[in-house]
Amino acid sequence: MDIGKDAENRARHYLAQQGLKFVTQNVRYTFGELDLVMRDGKHWVFVEVKFRSGNKFGGAIQALSQAQMQRIRQAAACYLQQHNIDAPCRFDLVAINQQQIEWVRGAFE
């Protein structure tokens, strides 16, 4: 299994242990991708997963750029529209550095 898929699966299981419900994974559009789509009560949660093997260059939590955030927002809007979903949503980040998992709820708007 490749490192990215392994990190996404680790994040998925971690979030499920925290009470979130898995919806889907790796939703791809030409302009962006959603790593994980989860539910947290009434909220739809779009999760970006970042993995870094070390803390060089700030580690996983600093790896999310403004351009990536914009692509994720666009992908989420498209997903909500395609599935006719009218519900609150948020954008979370799961940063994985070696064996540590850090979950940032509402990482960006």
Looking at residue 1, what is its pLDDT?
54
Which CATH code is given to the segment(s) 3-108? 3.40.1350.10
Cα distance between residue 94 and residue 51, in whole Å: 8
What pLDDT is recorded for position 11? 94
Closest CA to 106 of 83, 90, 86, 82: 90
pLDDT, one tens digit per residue, over 42-97 is 999 999 998 876 555 455 556 678 899 999 999 999 999 999 999 999 999 998 87
pLDDT tops 80 at residue 98: no
| Weakest mean pLDDT among 3-12, 30-39, 76-85 | 3-12
Segment 11-20, tens digit of pLDDT = 999 999 999 9
Report the alpha-carbon distance of residue 40 to residue 67 in Å, rounded: 26
Block residue for tokens 């708007």: 109
